Amino acid sequence: MKALLDRARSFKRRVDFESGEYRRLAEGQYPEALFITCSDSRVIPALITGARPGEIFELRNAGNIVPPHGRPGASGEVATIEYALEVLGVQDIVVCGHSHCGAMGALKSGDDLSALPGVDAWLQLARPRLAPVLDGDVEDPSMPDVAQLNVVNQLAVLRSHPATHRRLDAGQLRLHGWYYEVHTGQVHELDEDGLFRVHAA
């Protein structure tokens, strides 16, 4: 923690806040995309995409899960999606899963989460749609089948949200599915045929 605190204290000295770029940030934000991904500390959207401050709007939670539309109670996820679309007008949304995901691993291995009731309740949102890949042994610890199917499923849930649905129908929004490999740094993109592929830069 000391190293993090020291870097925070020296941040203003390390960055040129007198430049036009940072002065413009105070006038408002105009991100190009909403990036929905896991809270995992190894997944850093700005590092993966090379985004500068103000370029991506982030939504992070355990397992990059999108709650279904109409679920009772307040939801930070739904609020973030609505704000990104209705206020910021983002035209692209990325749902990015990743290898070695603890949330997906807990589902795959059928872990007893009774000591983590909040985690258990949250993962229940994803569990039913992942049933086809949750049975059987864990052959690959990176679990691409689970994480990739989860991305596909969360995109489907996202499409059901009214703000998303309206913009998709109007041709004002594009959805993207990504799978990030922690151990290689590769980004696999979901193609129209439903397969994830690594594309040349």
pLDDT digits (tens, 9 = 90+) for 69-118: 988 888 999 999 999 999 999 999 999 999 999 999 999 999 999 999 99
How far is 43 from 25, CA to CA, in rounded Å? Answer: 24
Structure tokens at 143: 């679990």
Mean pLDDT of 65-69: 95
pLDDT digits (tens, 9 = 90+) for 182-197: 999 999 999 999 999 9
> What mean pLDDT is reported for the chain?
93
Query: In this model, does residue 54 exceed pLDDT 90?
Result: yes
Residue-wise DSSP of 159-200: HTSHHHHHHHHTT--EEEEEEE-TTT--EEEE-TTS-EEEPP
Query: In this model, does residue 137 exceed pLDDT 80?
Result: no
Task: Give the pLDDT of residue 23.
Answer: 82
How far is 25 from 13, CA to CA, in rounded Å? Answer: 18
* Residues 92 and 174: beta-carbon distance below 8 Å: yes
Residue 66 buriedness (CB in 10 A; 0-12 / 13-18 / 19+):
buried
| Sequence-separated (6 or more) residues with CB below 8 Å from residue 187 | 48, 178, 179, 180, 181, 198
Of all residues in the chain, the percent with pLDDT exceeding 90 is: 77
Query: In this model, does residue 141 exceed pLDDT 90?
Result: no
